[in-house]
Amino acid sequence: MVRQFLSTVLGKSVRGAMRLRGGGSALPGLVVEKIDPTYIARSLGQLPQGVVLISGTNGKTTTTKMVVELLESQGLSVFTNRTGSNFTRGVVAALLREVTWTGQLKADIAVLELDEAHAVHFAKVVPPTHSLLLNVMRDQLDRFGEIDHTAVLLETIAKATTKSVTLNREDAHIRNIAGKLSDEISVSYFGLAPELLTLFPNDESLHDQTNVAVSTIPADVELVAFHDHMATFAFDGSNHSTDLQINGIYNMFNAAAAIACVRHILGDAVNTMALMASLSAVRPAFGRGETIMLDGQPVELVLVKNPGGFRLGLSSFSPEKYATMIAINDNYADGRDMSWLWDVSFESLRNNQREFFIYLSGIRAFDMALRLQYDDVSFKSVETDISKALHGFLTENSDRPKRIYCTYTAMLAIRKALSNYTKVRGIGV
């Protein structure tokens, strides 16, 4: 107790000092993690229903947000790393915001988003009670290597889980993890109706849409249909439809994952009516299909970080009547290797070039310009400075809706720059 108290006081003091200086949110977590490696285990060990760990290449932040709100709809108090800082130091930083000065964490269960490699480290310190594993795609290969290595990382997380694991039936790398688990671990799946499989390409089917296998494994929750913001999910022998505030077809599948995870955790105790009502109220996570209003016109932010995700983003939104900007950075958090841009087809953007031009920005703006030329997509400007590019984009398209496809650090820079023009909600909201 004394060590918990001292570490908490130190961490909260560092956090207070950083807030006064306008510093980053992860530093207090890094300090406490260094001086007290067991702090995270002691803090989360207080939770009566344990820890839910969510990992995978795409969709972690949005799916985590949905799982949190669905669990809250069932009357649970949930601790989570709301800022989307998915390293272990980010979890510690989130704990320092929530624990009392004596180190007490008042919650029933934790739901944590973690980067694949950091999730393995976390699971060694705090074995998750439940895990939700989303997908394996080529993302930041300069950090993780080939996708087979990423699959091994996620398998390690599943093996460390103590009670239940929820898996993506449509991703062979994820589905096959089930065969590596002990009989004591309960396994469930989320999946897609066969007719939807070609709309959600994995790495195997990215270049060959005929290479789509239909799994015969039953899924606890299946996405069976969607139109605009309406999605229909099949579970318990019935179809359940609801309107969603989240944008993009990829988030419809993330919703199926969230429902399956919560149902697996709570079992027969789930109140389905409250579950679906809560799902319909979930707002997009920051930068993930988020809409920011400016002078009566929407500015939509679509996060892209690998070929599958970018393709799904482009297929989710019609370019008609929208001014479009693409901002590509190659900072560490984005991944240094941008060769994946060549695996994305940008032909759909030709549809709007007669009316509206495309603006390119970010550190790798000229790489993006070259890529678009190969797909015969014209663009108006190339400006590596995001603030300057955004100013021109907003000024020249003030009377029409706008959409920005952006990598992670570009998205952060765009949200910061947008705050000079309009109100932008906080990252953790």
Q: How far is CA 221 from the centre of its chain?
A: 19
Residues 304 and 259 in one domain: no
Residues 272 and 370 in one domain: no
Residues 259 and 352 in one domain: no
The per-residue pLDDT for 223 is 97
Are the CB atoms for 330 and 363 separated by under 8 Å?
yes
Nearest to 314 by CA among 296, 289, 337: 289
Residues 183 and 60 in one domain: yes
Nearest to 279 by CA among 261, 267, 265: 261
Q: Give the tokens for residue 124.
A: 């060694």
**Spatial separation of the C-alpha atoms in residues 176 and 173, rounded to whole Å:** 6
The per-residue pLDDT for 267 is 93
Beta strand pairing status for 358-361 and 130-133?
unpaired
Are the CB atoms for 327 and 395 separated by under 8 Å?
no
Q: Supply the range of the domain harboring residue 297.
A: 288-418
Residues 262 and 301 in one domain: no
Name the phi and psi angles at 17, rounded to 5: -65, -40
Residues 274 and 293 in one domain: no
Residues 21 and 116 in one domain: yes
**Spatial separation of the C-alpha atoms in residues 327 and 384, rounded to whole Å:** 8
Any idea what the Cα angle at residue 313 is, between residues 361 and 418, rounded to 5°? Answer: 45
Residue 145 lies in a domain: yes
Residues 141 and 184 in one domain: yes
Tens digits of residue pLDDT in 328-353? 999 988 888 888 899 899 988 886 55
Residues of the chain with pLDDT under 50: 140, 142-144, 429
Strand partners, 403: 300, 324
Residues 394 and 247 in one domain: no
Q: Give the tokens for residue 351.
A: 């549809």
Read off the DSSP letter of residue 283.
Answer: P
Residue 424 lies in a domain: no
Residue 429 lies in a domain: no
Residues 271 and 329 in one domain: no
Please identify, among 248, 281, 314, the residue that sits at the C-terminal boundary of a domain: 281
Instruction: Specify the pTM.
Output: 0.85
The per-residue pLDDT for 83 is 61
Residues 246 and 367 in one domain: no
Q: Give the tokens for residue 279.
A: 């799902």
Q: Which CATH number do you get for residue 405? A: 3.90.190.20
Q: Is 322 helix (H, G, I), strand (E, B) or coil?
A: coil
Q: Give the tokens for residue 24.
A: 């980053």
Residue 426 lies in a domain: no
Residues 161 and 231 in one domain: yes
Please identify, among 281, 301, 336, the residue that sits at the C-terminal boundary of a domain: 281
